[in-house]
Amino acid sequence: MSAKKRSTPHPESGVTMEHLAAIAGVSTITVSRALRNSPLVTVETREKIRKIAEEQGYRFNVSARNLRLGRSHSVAVVVEMTPANDRPMSDPYPLELLGGITQELTTAGYSVVLTSMQLIDTPPVQGADGMILLGQGSHGEAVHRLQRSGLPLVIWGAPDANQPGIVVGSDNRKGGASVAERFIQQGRRKLLFIGDIDHAEVQERCAGFMEALGDQQHAVTILRPKAFTFEAGFDCMSTYLDKKDKTFDAVFAASDLLAMGAIRAITEADMTVPGQVSVIGYDDTPGAASFIPALTSVHQYLRDGGILLAKKILGLINEEAVESEVLQTMLVVRQT
């Protein structure tokens, strides 16, 4: 069977480097190096991979040509989230991550090209030496799209066995488990989880939460708003409160904004927090401490994560061995 027949082209922009690697019987990084004329790959292997790429209609982009001539000494940081009035870009996520990234990259002599998913095909992004993606998107869609660029890529999120790549993120399972342990200590029995589990990080938080509950996980109801905003938390909880026979005494929300919105809906329904309902959020944003009542939340070390993301992408650009890494989390107990 020919290489062309064995490949499964992507409907938008052709095969990915993973497809080329499978056909050639090599690793994805070898394909990336071969397409960039790296001396770490033999001439024979380079020619073989280039021939396969041409047969499969692989799209050679501007960045690949630039890398054959020299580096741009820039890294594109792509923010997956869509800014909203109640979830602006000035929020700790992604601002703290960006602070750590910028500090590390500028120290290394690299400029940062900050952009969104809508602008990844523009020359400044395509001409970068590598990309950092903040947020994997629903079902990993953002990751799949950026991987097709052929640039070295590091992702902030949760590792996925079905999605190869270098990932830096918090220990979402442990974070979720710490929330379950807190509710068990409080004697809470009817639990809600609020978050879109189509996102890998949220799925991991929910999984850790469920596992730690053990036999009690059957008492969990999952609500799945499609945004991570205050409004989404409020609307989701209000809709649930409108239902008959709703009984719950604890809420774990996948972000602080979702948790704050849920609290507003709960209090407007004449229920008390934490008297009748305990609520825990995620991220430990500055707003969590100043919210009334002060929000208990899982802390993520976002600035440290940003520094790690930058170190990893620099390693990939320099063709060094790089591995994914997980940061610890910590439950910060306040009034809710």
- How much is the pTM? 0.76
Going from the first residue of the chain to its last (336 residues), give the mean pLDDT of each consecutive group of 10, the final group possibly shorter.
37 66 89 77 88 77 50 87 58 83 92 87 86 86 83 90 84 98 96 94 96 91 92 95 85 96 96 97 94 97 96 93 95 97
Distance CA 4, CA 12 (A): 17
Residue 143 DSSP one-character state: H
Residue 295 DSSP one-character state: P
pLDDT reported for residue 55: 82
User: Where in the chain does DSSP place strands (E)?
Assistant: 74-79, 111-116, 130-134, 153-156, 166-170, 191-194, 220-223, 250-253, 278-283, 296-300, 325-327, 329-332
Task: Return the percentage of the chain with pLDDT > 90, whole number.
Answer: 55
Closest to 313 (Cα-Cα) out of 66, 16, 67, 75: 75
In 3-state terms, what secondary structure has residue 220?
strand
| Amino acid letter, 335 | Q
Q: Is 275 exposed, middle or buried (0-12, 13-18, 19+ CB in 10 A)?
A: exposed
Instruction: For the chain, give the number of residues.
Output: 336
Q: Is 88 exposed, middle or buried (0-12, 13-18, 19+ CB in 10 A)?
A: exposed
pLDDT in tens, 269-320: 999 999 999 999 999 998 999 999 999 999 999 999 999 999 999 999 988 9
pLDDT reported for residue 166: 92
pLDDT reported for residue 62: 46
Which is it for strands 111-116 and 166-170: parallel, antiparallel or unpaired? unpaired
pLDDT reported for residue 84: 55
Distance CA 309, CA 100 (A): 8
| Amino acid letter, 22 | A
pLDDT in tens, 159-202: 876 667 899 999 999 999 999 999 999 999 999 999 999 999 99
In the numeric block, which tokens belong to residue 163? 């999605």
Cβ–Cβ < 8 Å for 296, 258: no
Count CB atoms within 10 A of the CB of residue 163: 18
pLDDT reported for residue 9: 39
Closest to 115 (Cα-Cα) out of 145, 154, 76: 76
In the numeric block, which tokens belong to residue 91? 């929020």
In 3-state terms, what secondary structure has residue 5?
helix
For CA atoms 218, 220, 226, 227, give the dihedral sign.
negative
Distance CA 251, CA 188 (A): 10
DSSP H/E element including 305: helix 302-317
pLDDT reported for residue 237: 96
Q: Residue 116 phi/psi, 5° resolution? A: -120, 175
305's CB contacts (< 8 A; 6+ apart) are: 97, 100, 156, 168, 169, 170, 327
